Amino acid sequence: MDSTMPGSGDHSSTNDYFSDISSEMALFGKYEVGKLLGRGAFAKVYQARNLKTGETVAIKTMSKRKVLQGKLMAHVKREIAIMRRLHHPNIVKLFEVLATKTKVYFVMEYAKGGELFSRVTKGRFSEDLCRRYFQQLISAIGFCHSRGIYHRDLKPENLLLDETWNLKVTDFGLGAVSEQARARQDGLLHTLCGT
């Protein structure tokens, strides 16, 4: 996910940033949508608040039209299936998936600390902090592998930090499962890989 953020000097209407959420989001009556957190080729991620619990969440929204045009429906379904199988303290939780005729919404755990990438660009980390992040990453990836799940797009932009600066792996859009390899005669994964 590219974390391009609206510039602080940009005074255009906040509603411009939420045009893809549209009135459909209000129909759910569950979430108050806040600021745009980031965007990629097929998705935008917004901060939101669960109206019932008050909890802050992240909502990844995708246009069904763009997903279908990009022939990515199988990827979206696989990402949902993968995230539903993963419950680990260092992996972003998927709370629910909502859909309308035109959009798909992933309601996920909000990582208040943002992307690890933005923290790395601001300066050096201590050896202890690097060790902590590496241990958390290895724990999360080991957990995935023990369940036959392979991320295939690990990069600092897909590693988030929560409010207590713990690492959270996110974006399983290019993830694969071991069943895919067993289904092929050569035993290899034949899906897209990321960076």
Does 60 show up as a binding residue in the annotation? yes
- The conformational region for residue 114 under phi > 0 = left, psi -120 to 50 = alpha, else beta, is left
Q: Among 62, 74, 145, 70, which residue's Cα sits nearest to residue 108?
A: 62
Active site residue 153: yes
* Segments in the chain forming alpha helices (H): 22-28, 64-69, 73-85, 116-120, 127-146, 178-182
Q: Among 139, 56, 43, which residue's Cα sits nearest to residue 91?
A: 139
| Residue 52, amino acid | K
Distance CA 90, CA 87 (A): 9
Question: Which residue has 């994964």 as its token pair?
Answer: 189
β 43-50/159-161 pair status:
unpaired
Of how many residues is the chain composed? 195
Residues in a beta bridge with 161: 114, 167
Name the catalytic one among 153, 162, 171, 186: 153
Tell me the catalytic residues.
153
Annotated binding site: 60
Annotated binding site for ATP: 60
